[in-house]
Structure 1
Amino acid sequence: MPKLFSRSSTPRRPGRVSARVRILGWLLLLTVLTLLFVGVLVRTILLENVDTDTNAALTQETEEFGEFARTGIDPATGRKFDNVAELFEVYLSRQVPDEDEILLGVDNARSEFPFYKAEARPPYAVQDDAGLLAGVNASASSWGNTGTPAGEMRWAKVPVTSTNGSSGHLLIGYFTQPARDEVASIMTTAAWAALLALLLIAGVGWVVAGQILAPVRTVRKAAAEISAHDLTQRIPVQRRDDIGELAETFNSMLDRLDDAFATQRQFLDDAGHELRTPITIVQGHLDVMGDDPADRDETLRLVTDELARMTRMVDDLLLLAKARRPDFVRPGPVALADLTSDIYRKVEQLGNRSWSVDSTSTDIVRVDAQRVTQALVQLAHNAVRHTRDGDRIELGSAVDDHVVTFWVADTGSGVSPADAEKIWERFSRGSGYTGEGAGLGLAIVKAIAEAHGGRAILMDKQGAGSTFGIELPR
């Protein structure tokens, strides 16, 4: 018999990427894309915050100085400032600029030293860069950006005029590059952390993917080792997830295959064993057949009878082999009373007996009417073989909430306790049976009942007849 599976039937193609590697690859790709997206989003938000905070600081500083200039009173003396130089000096002496901030007061009347600064060590000494200041001072705008060796400086100018007519403006500058460098430092740290997380995810993902796919590898190895001669291996199911269901499904498939091969082997064994005798009889009679016409006619009659018996036996064996197939029975809605009546009309011609219908029901049940008829006809044949002319044989059917029951009762000699179990097996005959049957009739009845999900039953009263039947799920 050819092997169902073999190692060579599922060769591993060169260069094929395993499911474990593919799962890990997709996981890492998704993680990298997610980290990149989050990194870009966070960087953008942080840089926008730098711009927002710088603009807010400039606005706050301009409002504070504008309010101070409008008041025009020295908080220490309570008198008004005489000129903008004095105003700048007092205001700047009271300020504590931020780390990246500069404050410069420009007095238009003092060209020789026009600037007052409040930040002792700014990122860049703007007050010493005459060209940069000239460009900012000459700008007609109150806000702007300008480049410096220390990076971009965002600035704002607030004009002011004193009571004596002197004028000038306060220059407020913020260097944004330090804040941007801090964002870059944060993103660098986050990138290293993301790399470490990626390595950790890769390691954990490799281990977890291996554990998840372990039953799949077991299934593959089992499939490669199983043959038609050894279907006993099963995969231990220790999980309650999709992989566990896969293992259970594979085990169920092996159960069905094992059952199919067992049925096949049993069919071959039964056929080989039971057909050997009629073949021997046929061959023996043909070997000794003479030229006498009467002898030839008798031999042909015996041979034809044996061949007919062999045909019936093969048909019964084939039926039993098909009984394991899922499509052996095809249940459908059936009126129980009509089905019982039809079976009665078919079996009452089997022998000269007192036939009757014991009871039935008007319910609608779901069974395979043809298979049920086949089983009841077999039971009726069996009852005829074990009764005499004029004996009573009753058919009946009943139904309750869960079970549909069909039966055939006779008034024959009954079944001995020793035969009650074995008579349902193939080629088994009761101890008192002397007929010519192959002993497959009750086995067929049992197979039909079990194919419905039910069972065959025997209610025997030895010496007072027997009742054979089947119980099927409603």
Structure 2
Amino acid sequence: MTTTSVTTPVTTTDRTPTARRDRRISARVRILLWLLLMMAVALAAVATTTRSLLLRDIDHRINQLLTQETQEFGNFVPQGVDPNTGRTFTDPDTLLRVFLQRQYSDPDEELLGLIRPERGGLQVVRQSREIRSAVALHPDRASLSAILDSDAASGVLSRPAGEVRWAKVPIDSPGSGRPAAFVVAFHADGEKALADDAFRTLLVISGVALLLTTGIGWVVAGRILAPVRVVRATAEKLTEQDLTRRIPVQGRDDIAALAETFNAMLDRLERAFAGQRQFVDDAGHELRTPITIVRGHLEVMGDDPAEQRETVRLVTDELDRMSRIVEDLLLLAKAERPDFVRPEPVQLGELTADVFVKARALGERDWVLGRVADREAVLDPQRITQAMVQLAQNAVQHTVPGARIEIGSRETGGAVELYVTDSGPGVQEQDAEVIFERFRRGTARRGARTSGAGLGLSIVRAIAEGHRGGRVELRRPATGGASFVLVLEDAS
């Protein structure tokens, strides 16, 4: 029996950073959406508020009109004169007809006289003109009867043809015995239609404004965010092998500040990677020789006890040298850190004397404590002591027993100088610039006594430059030899 194995293809989902980035909404789109949302809310609020104000103004104007017409009729009743009798009106029909003939009403306004005859029904007295509204109120007897019979002086009548605002003035005519009233009716739909038209116009204008804002906002946001896109594109192209790219800085706004900050970050990264590469290169270069020596001696070591002891001594010496090299390289790597030096107020005279006492144990030389600056300085006493002792050790390596070595400190202007001067062979002109580099030695100062890896002066320079305004200088005294000087400009 044969078993067939079926392999099912597995579908994987693309979860790479590029795929995730493609699904994101860009800052340009988000800014534009927020801008459009805010503008849409603001424009809608403006349009709605304008419509509300227009409707309120219409209500106020209608109320004023109704009040004015009813007041005019109320004043006319006691003062009016019947043209037929020359006396005050006693018949409501005549009163209403005479008054209505003298009035000029608005297109949406109806002035009506309502009289309830003794035999029933409803008599309507009105002006001889056509109202602009589609359906006037005077043919609607049921609504007019409701108004006449109502105890209210004003009200709102809702009809299929539209809303009607009305006010009435009852007519007191005891002699006639017929209920009568003067009615002012206003059809508000026409006025409200104007407000609605204005509202729709505002909405159309707002829509056009939003479209224009969309185009302008898209262009402006693109111009503002262009440096940000450059930052992103530059960051995407950065690799450990290429940290030389920089962002062009234009203007003085926040985007320009961002570009400057990003460029400064790239400078720090480039220095960090360069230091890392240099550390690895230096370590590989310097450690290769002792490793080769150790391996060679171990490979040829025989069974002779004396030979084995000599091999162990040589291997131990090389391992000690490797340990010193590693420690020096680690110290130089720490020099890039901001806390490499920790300045504090120090009495310069006491520091110089301490360095002198420690240096005297380095070799049999004619040690001389030179001038001592009697003042306070702001520096890292441990690092400065380390640098001065290294300079003293360097002087011992390049001088013979009994040679003069002077250690001192002085104040020159606003700067502080600490120096180590020896009477050795000095430094050749071609070596003056290279002796402070890693693993470089001066040609005239090489000798059998020099067993270092060429990192001492590099450490001294790193300590000096770790102090603000600090540096190390090589000077040539007139009496010969060499003088190494730590100059601290901002030690006050």
TM-score of the pair, normalised by structure 1: 0.85
Question: In structure 1, what is the equivalent of residue 211 of structure 2?
Answer: 199
Structure 2 CA distance for aligned equivalents of residues 396 and 56 of structure 1: 100
Letter in 1 for 2:406: I
1:218 aligned onto 2:230: yes
What does the per-residue CA deviation read over 1:114-172, in whole Å, with 9 as the maximum and x for residues that have no partner?
A: 41327542423322222221111111111111123431111111234589889843211
Give how far 1:201 is off.
2.2
Asked whether the 8 Å contact 1:144–1:155 carries over to 2, the reply is yes
The counterpart of 1:460, out of the listed 459, 476, 479, is 476
Query: 1:434-449 counterparts in 2 under 5 A?
Result: 434=447, 435-449=450-464
1:115 aligned onto 2:125: yes
Larger displacement relative to structure 2 (95-104 or 246-255):
246-255
Question: In structure 2, what is the equivalent of residue 391 of structure 1?
Answer: 404
Question: In structure 2, what is the equivalent of residue 469 of structure 1?
Answer: 486
Question: In structure 2, what is the equivalent of residue 4 of structure 1?
Answer: none
Give how far 1:88 is off.
3.5
Structure 1 CA distance for aligned equivalents of residues 373 and 487 of structure 2: 14
- Assess, with a 3 A threshold, how the Cα gap between structure 1 residues 98 and 373 changes in structure 2: closer, same or farther: farther
1:151 aligned onto 2:162: yes
Structure 2 CA distance for aligned equivalents of residues 256 and 371 of structure 1: 23
Question: In structure 1, what is the equivalent of residue 61 of structure 2?
Answer: 53
1:10 aligned onto 2:17: yes
Asked whether the 8 Å contact 1:413–1:463 carries over to 2, the reply is no
Asked whether the 8 Å contact 1:416–1:462 carries over to 2, the reply is no
Structure 2 CA distance for aligned equivalents of residues 63 and 346 of structure 1: 116
Structure 1 CA distance for aligned equivalents of residues 380 and 407 of structure 2: 22
Larger displacement relative to structure 2 (105-114 or 230-239):
105-114
Give how far 1:192 is off.
1.8
The counterpart of 2:314, out of the listed 299, 302, 316, is 302
- Assess, with a 3 A threshold, how the Cα gap between structure 1 residues 391 and 59 changes in structure 2: closer, same or farther: same
1:230 aligned onto 2:246: no
What does the per-residue CA deviation read over 1:438-457, in whole Å, with 9 as the maximum and x for residues that have no partner?
A: 22111111112223343222
Give how far 1:25 is off.
2.7
The counterpart of 1:125, out of the listed 117, 131, 136, is 136
Question: In structure 2, what is the equivalent of residue 180 of structure 1?
Answer: 192
TM-score of the pair, normalised by structure 2: 0.82
SS in 2 for 1:327: coil
Letter in 2 for 1:437: G
What does the per-residue CA deviation read over 1:342-385, in whole Å, with 9 as the maximum and x for residues that have no partner?
A: 434333332333232522344352x3332222222212222333
Letter in 2 for 1:39: A
Gaps (5+ residues) in structure 1? Answer: 1-7
SS in 2 for 1:171: strand
Larger displacement relative to structure 2 (244-253 or 105-114):
105-114
SS in 2 for 1:349: helix
SS in 1 for 2:107: coil
Structure 1 CA distance for aligned equivalents of residues 76 and 421 of structure 2: 119
What does the per-residue CA deviation read over 1:396-421, in whole Å, with 9 as the maximum and x for residues that have no partner?
A: 154866x5543334454443433222
The counterpart of 2:371, out of the listed 358, 361, 369, is 358
1:348 aligned onto 2:356: no
What does the per-residue CA deviation read over 1:193-218, in whole Å, with 9 as the maximum and x for residues that have no partner?
A: 22222222222333333333333333
Question: In structure 1, what is the equivalent of residue 99 of structure 2?
Answer: 91
Asked whether the 8 Å contact 2:96–2:125 carries over to 1, the reply is no
Larger displacement relative to structure 2 (260-269 or 38-47):
38-47
Larger displacement relative to structure 2 (133-142 or 278-287):
278-287
Letter in 2 for 1:139: S
Structure 1 CA distance for aligned equivalents of residues 376 and 412 of structure 2: 8
Question: In structure 1, what is the equivalent of residue 4 of structure 2?
Answer: none
Asked whether the 8 Å contact 2:153–2:167 carries over to 1, the reply is yes
Asked whether the 8 Å contact 1:457–1:471 carries over to 2, the reply is no
SS in 1 for 2:277: helix
Asked whether the 8 Å contact 1:419–1:431 carries over to 2, the reply is yes
Asked whether the 8 Å contact 1:328–1:451 carries over to 2, the reply is yes
Larger displacement relative to structure 2 (434-443 or 268-277):
268-277
Asked whether the 8 Å contact 2:464–2:486 carries over to 1, the reply is no
Letter in 2 for 1:137: L
Q: Percent identity among equivalent residues?
A: 47
Structure 2 CA distance for aligned equivalents of residues 21 and 188 of structure 1: 29
Gaps (5+ residues) in structure 2? Answer: 1-14
SS in 2 for 1:431: coil
Structure 2 CA distance for aligned equivalents of residues 274 and 92 of structure 1: 120
1:37 aligned onto 2:45: yes
- Assess, with a 3 A threshold, how the Cα gap between structure 1 residues 285 and 109 changes in structure 2: closer, same or farther: closer
SS in 1 for 2:18: coil
Asked whether the 8 Å contact 1:408–1:467 carries over to 2, the reply is yes
Cα RMSD (Å): 3.3
Structure 2 CA distance for aligned equivalents of residues 201 and 353 of structure 1: 85
Structure 2 CA distance for aligned equivalents of residues 301 and 258 of structure 1: 42
